[in-house]
Amino acid sequence: MHPSDLLFALTTRRLVAIVRGQDADAALDTVLTLVRRGIDLVEVSLSGTDALRVIEKARAVLGPDALLGAGTVLTARDARRAADAGAAFTVTPGVTEAVAESRALGLPVLAGALTPTEVASAVAQGATAVKLFPVGPGAVEWLRALRGPFPQVPFVPVGGIDALMARAVLAAGALAVGVGSPLVGNAADGDPTGLHDRIAMFRSLGVAAS
């Protein structure tokens, strides 16, 4: 995936679903359910059980063009293993060595940053977009503050964002949002209760592209 492809996907999808869980089979089922219900930009966190295997299996089922990435990529080794597993992009929680390694591997990267210094560092290291993390309840205000000195940086706020906050953050100028448990719930741990309803809610609020 070229960086411009990830930017296009973020612009058109507006929602990155974050899947992490302790049941690899359930995590895989969750990824496939999200994609089949139209939430097709998905990050599988390496903090989950057998996450690389989940990525490999999802890639095998979904094919080479699936918008499937690896999250919680901390080290250069993580980036290499994610690429080998079939990740099309990486997501880091901070500005780590994984950013430069991902770019060296030809992978676009959503680099985690929160402060102005971190944002500037992420951009300097070649981040495709900046994962504004962790934003919490002050997401809208923090995004607006950072867009002043960084008007051209594509921001993707992540952390504690539910459907209503996602809509507000997008209205404030975020390129997209990253959402984990408010969308996925416990599905990746083996309890899919309510997953379809939550997907429908995010789409009905205009957060995820229809």
| Catalytic residue flag (residue 43) | yes
Q: What is the CATH number of the domain that holds 191?
A: 3.20.20.70
The answer to whether position 80 is within a domain reads yes
The single residue of 57, 97, 131, 141 carrying the catalytic annotation is 131
Asked whether residue 210 is assigned to any structural domain, the reply reads no
Decide if 179 is inside a domain.
yes
Q: Which residues constitute the domain of residue 181?
A: 3-204
Q: Is residue 52 in some structural domain?
A: yes
Q: Which of 43, 97, 101, 118 is catalytic?
A: 43
pLDDT digits (tens, 9 = 90+) for 103-155: 999 999 999 999 999 999 999 999 999 999 999 889 999 999 999 999 999 99
Number of domains forming the structure of the chain: 1
Q: Is residue 209 part of a domain?
A: no
Write the pLDDT tens digit of every residue in 20-54: 999 999 999 999 999 999 999 999 999 999 999 99
DSSP string across the chain:
--HHHHHHHHHHH-EEEEE--S-HHHHHHHHHHHHHTT--EEEEETTSTTHHHHHHHHHHHH-TT-EEEEES--SHHHHHHHHHHT-SSEE-SSS-HHHHHHHHTT--EEEEE-SHHHHHHHHHTT-SEEEETT-GGGHHHHHHHHHTT-TT--EEEBSS--HHHHHHHHHTT-S-EEESHHHHTTGGGT--TTHHHHHHHHHHTTSS--
Residue 118 annotated among the catalytic residues of the structure: no
pLDDT band at 204 (very low <50, low <70, confident <90, very high): confident
Structural domain includes residue 11 = yes
- What is the arithmetic mean of pLDDT over 178-204? 94
